[in-house]
Each structure stands twice: as C-alpha cells, then as structure tokens.
Amino acid sequence: MLSHRAIWDGIDALARRHGHSVSALARLAGLDATAFNVSKRVSKDGRERWPSTESIAKILEATGESFDSFLAGTGAFLQQGGFAEPPQRTVPLLGLAQAGAGGFFDSAGFPVGQGWDEIVLPTPTDSGIYALEVTGDSMEPLYREGDRIVVSPTEQVRRGDRVVVKTRDGEVMAKILARQSARQIELHSLNPAYAPRVLELGEVEWVARIIWASQ
C-alpha cells in the first residue's frame, strides 16, 4: 500500500530526475506552481493532503515517464528489491524584493507562512536554512540579480560575514557586516556605488548569515 509520504517522495524524486524543483515541475505540467509545495501537503488542522491523480498524470505526461518509474521513486519497490534514490535537500525560496513584506519571517528570522517556492540544495543540514533570490546590484560583482543566496538564522555572525539584515521597518538587504558595537551595526555593499549603512541596533529585527550561493 502506498503511503502519503511515499506518494510525495515519488513526486520529489521525479522532479529531481529532471533537474527541477517541485514548483518548476508543476509549472511544466501546466499546474499551479505551488501545487506540490511542502506547505500544501498537510492542512492547517494537521490532516494529510494527497495530490490528485490528475496532477500525477499531468507530470508524467510532461516528463515522458511511466507510472512504473514514478512508483519506483516512491520507495514502494524497496521490499521487492527495487531501488531508492539518495535524498536531496530542498529549502524554502523567496525573492529578496518580496522578503520585506509581512508574514514571511518570524521574529528570529526563520521562514513562515505561504508564498515560498523551493530550491534543491546539495548538502547543508541546518533545518532552519532558506534561500533568497537577489534583486538589485548592490552586491555586484559577487552576487548578481537572479542569483540565489542560502541563509542560516542559527549561524554565528562575525565581522566580515556576508549577511541578510531585516529592519523593523520591513527592509531586507544583503550586505557585508563591517562592524557591530553595543549600539550600532555598520553594513557595506560590494558595489562601491552604494554608501555604507549604519543602523541603530534598535532598528534591526534580525541578522542572518549567508552560507551558500548559487550563481
């Protein structure tokens, strides 16, 4: 019998085989981009949500795969000597320009709420990490518009680290931590066209370290 977890594992495996996130797979099949997101797999009251047979048929048609190959990715064949794919890590993804809006982070800088996409990540194990898609040119030439930066709210932040900062006014920015005192924080951009920013600590909601980037 196929379990709820196994069906979703099969969708995740299908997306990986074709080099897609589950959101990209949904779009490829003509479905809503959030159809297979992790947030859609369990309802707010804790009940398990199942993908529709129509949505599964559409992703199989879009990828040219058979139902047997889909089942193989669910792990249902393991007891019969089948194969399993090594798990890959996905983390929440949000555009940096969207991040300043309310409802995407808790007070500690962890991702919450709806509207997040997903990105496949090679190895990190920190359960709180997430990704932001860069907008603007303040961090060029290191990070360009469209690059994805992976952020950890739990990593210790030190002088010289590349960080994401959210102010209490809702501004979210990727910067370099140049200096931090008991009262202020100084942030620099890589692009010399942007002047340093000095913020009072009371203006800052949280600071999180950038641990990885995908260019």
Q: What strands lie across the sheet with 117-121, from one edge to the other?
A: 117-121, 89-95, 130-133, 148-152, 204-214, 162-167, 172-180, 184-188, 197-200
89 pLDDT band (50/70/90 cuts)? Answer: low
pTM to 2 decimals? 0.47
Residue 131: half-sphere exposure toward Cβ, Cα within 13 Å: 21
Highest mean pLDDT among 16-20, 154-158, 200-204: 200-204
- Whether 91 is covered by a domain: the verdict is no
Domain stops at, among 53, 74, 95: 74
- How many domains does the chain fold into? 2
- Whether 114 is covered by a domain: the verdict is no
- Whether 109 is covered by a domain: the verdict is no
- Whether 66 is covered by a domain: the verdict is yes
96 pLDDT band (50/70/90 cuts)? Answer: low
Q: In the predicted model, what is the mean pLDDT of residues 33-55?
A: 82
Res. 85: pLDDT tops 70: no
Where is average pLDDT lowest: 80-94, 117-131, 160-174, 196-210? 80-94
- Whether 106 is covered by a domain: the verdict is no
Q: Which domain holds residue 26?
A: 4-74
CATH of the domain at 174: 2.10.109.10
Name the strand (E) or helix (H) holding 63: helix 53-63
d(CA 104, CA 144): 23
In the beta sheet, which residues pair with residue 175?
Answer: 163
Domain stops at, among 31, 50, 74: 74
120 pLDDT band (50/70/90 cuts)? Answer: low
pLDDT digits (tens, 9 = 90+) for 138-147: 777 777 888 8
pLDDT digits (tens, 9 = 90+) for 107-117: 777 777 777 77
CATH of the domain at 28: 1.10.260
- Whether 188 is covered by a domain: the verdict is yes
